[in-house]
Structure 1
Amino acid sequence: MGRVWRWVWKIALVAVATPLVLGLLYNVVPAPSTLMLARWAGGQPVERVWLPLDDISPNLIRSVLASEDARFCTHSGVDMVELQGVIDESDGLNAPRGASTITMQLVKNLFLWNGRSFIRKGLELPLALYLNVVMPKRRQLELYLNLAEWGPDGQFGVEAGARRAFRRGAGDLTARQAALLAVMLPNPHRRDAGKPGRGLSRLAANLQARIPREGAELTACL
């Protein structure tokens, strides 16, 4: 029995240490997402072209920040304002997307799995706080834009998403194209920036109207 417990402790130690070590390592090397790894393991296609943040259109950077996490530059990895709203209004599992910061989504993409559960949320919050300590905001955003799923057929990262939707690189996106890509992020399997319906077009137009009001605060930490 003692031998079994020693193995349990070893496995637990590896499980805890792995994201802590990788969080440091991913400051300097490109990272895959758990979803990308799962697709590779299942023999499914993965399309991802790594793009430095400086090569990504500022239109896209502002659009994603405004859409996904407008307080990205000021929170500590977890947006306590949004999180408190979720606690007040729900059980925390049916949270609006705004309660999940880019750092939290990055943690999910790097270390965890899709789906909603208390276990995943319980892991996601402390890992987001840790990642925000060991990784600059600029690198967090660069990783996120290169890991997010941007298409239904294994398109990961904004370069693959932009080429699929508009046949152009992510550095050449117009404000309208950037807004369309940003608002498709919550559901890239059902939303198509390249063929937007009225609903997606309306979301993109509303996002474009918001960005000038939110101003330089969106990118102050970059």
Structure 2
Amino acid sequence: YVNEDEQGHNQVNGNSIVRNLHLTMQFPDRLFDGDTVEVRAPEGFPLEDPQRTGVCWDFAFVEQTTVTDTIGVLPNSMVNCSHGLLTIHIREPFPFPRDFDLTISVTTSNPSTTPFVTDNWWRVTHFAAGSPASIQSTHAVEGWPIIPQLRNATVTLVGHLMRATATSSVRVSFISVSRADAVLVEAVEPVGFDFSAAAVYRSAPTAAPRNSLSGVAQ
């Protein structure tokens, strides 16, 4: 897979949309009329358009150019999605060749945190036509790690001394998405912040689950 954005950066932030995700697969057998290809996303990755039930989110086949020609990719086949499952129903008069790249483009969104190690896999299965359908081949590729994002991060001046050069207090508050053993708060600009007297406390059980850090600034 390739999950880079237009600037070439991997799209790994938690709760962010992953656009133009390219998934490339090859099959040891040809894809015949009546066959089915299933692509199952890791836990928490939707492939279904949030606005249209059963429709894949910005789905498209990506054409592959060879030395001799350009293949129109599965023009008659049908594609549908349900939650994290994408199904391609092969409906072609001629079989799709074996050992040839089949690339699709789709949009999804990252979950808030990396799925559990056994759930963070992209799985592709080729089913032959028939009832019941038989598995021709299958493969799994581990998904990317998610960088959890803090929610509702705020920095507030809470001391009563607010004039320039005065020593006062600031409060850094946020909602954590995942468990952590440490939190790093760095005052980049302007210089002169002193967190040596910082105190950490949690919100009341009845309030929103926020974490706060109070420190001294000048």
TM over 0.5: no
Structure whose CA Rg is larger? 2
Q: Larger RCO: Structure 1 or Structure 2 (Cα < 8 Å, ≥ 6 residues apart)?
A: 1
Larger relative helix fraction: 1
TM-score (ref. length: structure 2)? 0.23
